[in-house]
Amino acid sequence: MSAPLLQLQAAVLGWQQPCCGPLNLTLGRGEVLGLVGPNGAGKSTLLAALAGRARVFSGVLKVAPGATIVLQTQNPPPLEGLPLSGRDLLALTEASAQGLPDWLAGRLDERLDQLSGGQRHFLALWAILQSAGDLVLLDEPTNHLDAAGVAYLAAHLRERVALGAGLLLVSHDSDFVAMVCDRVLHLEAFDGL
Amino acid sequence: MAFDLFLLPFLTGLALAVLLPLLGCYLRLRQQWLAALAYAQMAAAGALTAAVVALPALLGGLLAASLAGLLRPLSARRLSGMAGDVLLLLAGWAASVLLVAHWPQAERLGHSLFDGQLYFAGERELGLALMALLLALLWLYRGHRGLLLAQLWPDLQRLRGQALWPSRVGFDVLVALCLAVATLGLGVMAVFALAFIPPWLAFRRQRNWRQALGYAVLLAVLAYGLAFALALSLDLPFGPVLALLLVIGAVFIA
């Protein structure tokens, strides 16, 4: 059995002060792990720690050597007022347009701030999902998406992990979590150490 | 005869009219458009200080601007938004006015820096403008994706292990140095007008990044050519003519 892509052992995470943990989890290739829990439980903080922005106060947070990470944050990229097309956005992360849903594939040459919020969000998500990465971190990916977008995303995520990626998904959308995840980890609100 | 006399100034300004809107587009992308004026003003203050202590004005301008280019990103955490740019701008302006008011050596250079006296440009100024343009083009060719990524997905570069300094401090220092060269040739407000107005219009009207860069450069070059001819034929200072043309063009297009 290959070593896990991501491993946390009694990891206490936070910003200036600890705000979540101790956390224990493992994530392997071809797996989707859902992280759920109340606001403030530290779900996004865990993703931020993996991105190198939040701190690990104690315990172990280990990513497999050589594994590459891609992260989609809750906040969409600031595209308002920028002369950027969908094609520009995909080129930035070297993402392919192949496989985009029809309702978006035909609008790649339009300015991004002329697309709807949902279309923009999906395209930004696609740019991250299609870029090269072994460990894919998604924070509330279904925000702003309609039912068709959510269904398309779910199918695509399964294709992505089938190719060998590991996926850590933070979401409040319980239906989506149930549809996509192999395992679900419930985080509790932090009550101090 | 007149052609020979004004060829070098024309070519110097032309190089800067290509350089400044390109840099302005990336400054606007980074929501740093006011930094163009702040760096130009700091370069002017540095050049005037150098003139007072009998050093080359160019050296003073480059030093002051590069110092501002280093300090601005390093202080960005504490001075959020455009507060850092405003402080630099006010400091540069106050120092410049005080120097011009009290030292005769600074007075003449001060007029040139604020009026924009491109017609005195010679081989040295043309060489510097071409070097600044070449440096900026090379930097943007290699680093434009990093600059866009740093703005849209700041985590991605760190996660990919890419160096962060080129899109943080490096770009600011590059812009500051280029603006110092441009300020000594075109004057403070003409530099700001070229770095602000064409990118602003391009961001409003163009559909993708490449088109926006091309449109900004085209507008700037057209305005520059017209301003050069008008100022020369009517015997007017170049800087205000260029700024006014750009403002009129902006109102018309916007």
Render pLDDT for B37-48 as a digit per residue (tens, 0 to 9).
999 999 999 999
Q: Give the pLDDT of residue A1.
A: 53
The answer to whether A73 contacts B155, with C-beta atoms less than 8 Å apart, is: yes
Mean predicted confidence (pLDDT) in B130-154: 93
pLDDT, one tens digit per residue, over A6-41 is 999 988 988 888 888 788 899 989 899 998 888 878
Query: What is B2-253's CATH superfamily?
Result: ABC transporter involved in vitamin B12 uptake, BtuC (1.10.3470.10)
The pLDDT assigned to A193 comes to 59
Q: Which residues of B touch A79 (CB under 8 A)?
A: 152
Question: How far is it, in rounded angstroms, from Cα B63 to Cα B60?
Answer: 5
Please write the tens of the pLDDT for every residue from B175-192: 999 999 999 989 999 999
pLDDT exceeds 90 at position B213 = yes
Q: Quick one: pLDDT at residue A87? A: 94
Residues of chain B neighbouring A83 (CB-CB closer than 8 A):
202-203, 205-209, 211-212
Residue A155 has pLDDT above 90, yes or no: no
pLDDT tens digits, A69-120: 888 888 888 888 999 999 999 999 888 888 888 888 889 999 999 998 888 9
Q: What are the sequence ranges of the domains in chain B?
A: 2-253
Q: How far is CA A42 from CA A75, A139, A155, A184, B117, in A?
A: 16, 12, 27, 15, 59
- The pLDDT of B13-40, averaged and rounded, is 95
Most B CBs within 10 Å: which of A69, A72, A73, A88, as the mutation test of the B interface?
Answer: A88
Domains of chain A and CATH, by start? 6-186 (3.40.50.300)
Rounded to whole angstroms, the Cα distance separating B111 from B48 reads: 11
The full DSSP string for A97-130 is: -TT--HHHHTTTTSBGGGS-HHHHHHHHHHHHHT
Asked whether the predicted pLDDT for residue A127 surpasses 80, the reply is: yes
pLDDT beyond 80 at B149: yes
Give me the total of CB pairs closer than 8 Å, taking one residue from chain A and one from chain B: 60
Note whether B152 contacts A73, CB cutoff 8 Å.
no
Compute the nearest-CA separation of B156 from chain A (Å).
7
Number of H helices, E strands in chain A: 6, 8
CA dist B120 and B132 (Å) reads 19
- Minimum-distance CB partner of A71 among B148, B155, B205: B155
Predicted ipTM?
0.86
Q: Is the pLDDT of residue B71 over 90?
A: no
B249 pLDDT tier (thresholds 50, 70, 90): very high
Q: A93 contacts in B (CB within 8 Å)?
A: 149, 153, 156
pLDDT at A175: 87
* Residue B45 · residue B92 · CB < 8 Å: yes
Residue B81 has pLDDT above 80, yes or no: no
Confidence of residue B26 (pLDDT cuts 50, 70, 90): very high
Nearest to B29 among A52, A82, A109 (CB): A82
Q: In chain B, which residues touch A (CB < 8 A)?
A: 29, 145, 148-149, 151-153, 155-156, 158-160, 202-203, 205-209, 211-212
For residue B207, list chain A residues with Cβ-Cβ distance below 8 A: 83, 85, 109-111
Q: Which amino acid is at A135?
A: L
Using an 8 Å CB-CB cutoff, list chain A residues near B150: none
CB atoms B152 and A92 under 8 Å: yes
pLDDT band at B97 (very low <50, low <70, confident <90, very high): very high
Q: What is the pLDDT of residue B159?
A: 84
